[in-house]
Chain A
Amino acid sequence: MLDILGAALIGLGTVFFVAGTVGLLRFPDIFCRLHALTKADGLGLALIALGVALMADGAGDVVRITLIWFFVAVAGATCGHLIARYARRAMPEGRHD
């Protein structure tokens, strides 16, 4: 039962991953693509981590999965901000509204 639920979560997570990738390829500029990556991939990984955690063998594994998720989430948001900041500075002047 838990396995089925886990598999469903993993599948759902993959859908978000694919969405992130589609966004990365389709969206018009870097900032929009950043939206796609930080949000969709972040949630995708969270769902996959949850799914794997449901299938995990012991509490130790769950702890590590939680740690991984937490780290990816924090790093994702921070890196998103850093890239946006970098891109704004590299951008030609005049788009600051």
Chain B
Amino acid sequence: MRQTERLIDTTPTPARSGGSVITIDTATPAGAARGRRFLTMAVVLLVIWAALTDFRPDALVFGLPAVLAGAGLVFLMPTSPRWRLSLRGAPGFVLWFVAQSVRGAVDVAWRAFAPQMPLRPGFRRYPMALPAGAPRVLFLNTVTLLPGTLSAELAGDSVVVHMLDTRADLAADLNALEARVAALFALT
């Protein structure tokens, strides 16, 4: 399991599929990567705990062990490539995501209520340019909330997408999404 981590430097994903991912193998051992992730997770969990308990300090008697145990779970998880979020990309992504998911829900609700049910379902394969790890997971989950698409399976570097209407322009939608995700993770 002593696997060196792949650090993503820059990825040429200018809204075009098939672009290869440049990875730089650094000498960061898995242990250090996990330690860093442990700290990040501990901070996040501490915030959640504090918010749940109305910032009461006496709750930390239980909170600290819980946070440590929860963050300690990273040592059971397989290592994954490192990533960082871009603060500049985040608001844009969130707004776009909200709009898209509303569109997606309205779209499917309309199809469900429509008497003749305008469906032409089918599968399409789409090659991803995003690097493995968090960006790809976010991409796959977001595809599911986009109008008319559902990520059904991951096959190597491409994703099998189920579409409610195969006439829609899948590549255009997903390219846009990839660009957004890349911006969020500061990959561009």
Interface residue? B177 (CB, 8 A) = no
Given A34-B150, A43-B102, A88-B153, residue A19 in contact with residue B108 (CB < 8 A): yes
Cβ–Cβ < 8 Å partners of B160 in chain A: 88, 96
Contact between B51 and A36, CB atoms less than 8 A apart: no
Interface with A: B11-19, B118-126, B178-186, which one?
B118-126
The answer for the CA separation of A34 and B143 in the assembled complex, in Å, is 13
Contact between A16 and B141, CB atoms less than 8 A apart: no
The answer for the CA separation of A80 and B149 in the assembled complex, in Å, is 11
> With contacts defined as CB atoms under 8 Å apart, how many contacts are there between chain A and chain B in the complex?
107
Contact between A85 and B153, CB atoms less than 8 A apart: yes
Cβ–Cβ < 8 Å partners of A46 in chain B: 101
The answer for the CA separation of A42 and B106 in the assembled complex, in Å, is 11
Partner of A16, one of B52, B105, B150, B152: B105
Cβ–Cβ < 8 Å partners of B122 in chain A: 97
Chain B nearest CB, measured from A96 CB (Å): 7
Chain A nearest CB, measured from B129 CB (Å): 19
Cβ–Cβ < 8 Å partners of B113 in chain A: 19, 22
Given A19-B113, A39-B101, residue A28 in contact with residue B121 (CB < 8 A): yes
Interface residue? B109 (CB, 8 A) = yes
Interface size on B, residues (CB 8 A): 35
Chain A nearest CB, measured from B173 CB (Å): 14
Contact between B119 and A32, CB atoms less than 8 A apart: yes
Contact between B152 and A81, CB atoms less than 8 A apart: yes
Interface residue? B148 (CB, 8 A) = yes
Within 8 A of B (CB), among A12-66: 15-16, 19-20, 22-23, 26-29, 31-32, 34-36, 38-40, 42-44, 46, 59-60, 63-64
Cβ–Cβ < 8 Å partners of B102 in chain A: 43
Partner of B141, one of A19, A28, A77, A95: A77
Contact between A35 and B109, CB atoms less than 8 A apart: no
Contact between A29 and B144, CB atoms less than 8 A apart: no
Chain B nearest CB, measured from A77 CB (Å): 4
Chain A nearest CB, measured from B162 CB (Å): 4
Interface residue? B117 (CB, 8 A) = yes
B residues near A (Cβ < 8 Å) are 48, 51-52, 54, 101-102, 104-105, 107-109, 111-113, 117, 119, 121-124, 140-142, 144-145, 147-148, 150-154, 160, 162, 164
- Could you show 22 A-B contacts with beta carbons less than 8 Å apart? A16-B105, A19-B112, A20-B109, A22-B112, A23-B111, A31-B162, A32-B164, A38-B145, A38-B150, A39-B108, A42-B101, A43-B104, A44-B105, A60-B52, A63-B52, A74-B141, A81-B152, A84-B150, A85-B153, A85-B154, A87-B152, A88-B153
